[in-house]
Copies of this chain bind each other. A is one copy, B any other.
Amino acid sequence: MLDERKRKILQAIIDDYISTAEPIGSRTIARKYNLGISPATIRNEMSDLEMLGYLEQPHTSAGRIPSARGYRFYVDCLLSPAKLSENDIALIESWYKTKVRRIDEVFQETAKILSRVTRNVSIVSAPQMRQCTFRYIQFLPLDEERVIVVLVSDTGLIENKVIKIPQEISLEDLQKIAHRINLRLTGMSFDSIKSSLLHEIKREILQQENLFEAAMELLREALAINSTEKVYLGGTTQLLEQPEFRDVDKVKSLLGVLEEERVLCDILQRQNNQGVLVTIGQENKFSVIKDCSMVQATYHIDGQIVGTIAVLGPTRMEYGKVMAVIEFMNQHLSQLLNKYKV
């Protein structure tokens, strides 16, 4: 659709704008990039590119900047698949190694690394337990009134919670109940453990005389552990580095949104294909980030979607690098999680 020369000029403009954040004029292009044509010719081409919607002008006598459509074309057609630099890879791997591995630390650390390498805000959603498979439930003693419920998933996720128990139930009772529950639920996905099933188990335990009611309550509470999805955020400070966020009010509105965990979950779109997804400007559903771009990928365990990692920044983003980082980190994280898996 675009001839070779237009592509080259568009690429030059976008590359330049990404690194300088300043509108680019025809002279600059002619000087910096040896395309063998004069500024005047470039001017004509730029005018065409603007007509076609790939560029826009902040005002008449300024240079051009890429439009959302320009970025889209850049990402889809102009970007050669970049490889991460040796340096970055080494950096990433060393960071991962230094930290002790508790599973939630892995996510926190991933968010941190992502933001440092890309110099943008990162969002990492942890696997939702509800998508995992039930492995077992266990009760540990705490005191006369309370026990610790430990819920373990197939993927090695562990949740614990302190809950009250009625006086009439002993720890031994609970452990018996846990045993029964485990027999019935092991291997099922948390999602498929519906209340109908719980009713069945309840009937079974009913024969175990009077403790069913309390026990059921307990179980329901225990299974409620995994209701909220966890999201890890990294490098919100990076926002302030970007010239497009020189304005405090802009930062404020964006940071405000990022603090809301629920909104974050919504922003991340679950997707099923393995690739890296780039959303540019208004393509985002949420108006707060309509002048931001997001690069995200979803990681899997055994083909099951478990979570998403993403980088959020201004539309003027180093797409090539960010995409490479996201891809690399995604693989890395998947590997790491598979180690934890049974």
Contacts and interface: CB of A to CB of B under 8 A. Distances in A.
A216 to B, nearest CB: 18
A224 B100 contact: yes
B241 A255 contact: no
Given A142-B342, A237-B255, A156 B162 contact: yes
A101 to B, nearest CB: 7
A334 interface: no
Contact of A161 (B102, B140, B142): B102
Contact of A251 (B156, B225, B240): B240
A244 B245 CA distance: 18
Contact of A162 (B102, B140, B162, B235): B102
Nearest to A160: B158
Given A252-B237, A252-B240, A156 B138 contact: no
Interface string A172-201: 000000000000000000000000000000
A220 interface: no
Contacts of A224: 100
A246 interface: yes
A248 interface: yes
Nearest to A102: B161
Contact of A160 (B160, B241, B259): B160
B162 A158 contact: yes
19 contacts: A100-B224, A102-B160, A140-B152, A143-B342, A146-B340, A148-B150, A148-B158, A150-B150, A156-B162, A158-B160, A160-B160, A236-B236, A236-B255, A237-B255, A240-B255, A246-B248, A248-B248, A248-B251, A251-B251
A78 interface: no
A58 interface: no
Contacts of A236: 236, 255, 259
A103 interface: yes
Contacts of A247: 248
A158 B139 CA distance: 13
Given A162-B102, A252-B237, A148 B152 contact: yes
A81 interface: no
Contacts of A101: 162
A120 to B, nearest CB: 14
A156 B142 contact: yes
A175 B199 CA distance: 34
Interface string A154-165: 001010111000
Contacts of A303: none
Interface in A94-139: 100-103, 138
A259 B237 contact: yes
A256 interface: yes
Nearest to A342: B143
Contact of A237 (B103, B246, B256, B340): B256
B255 A248 contact: no
A230 to B, nearest CB: 11
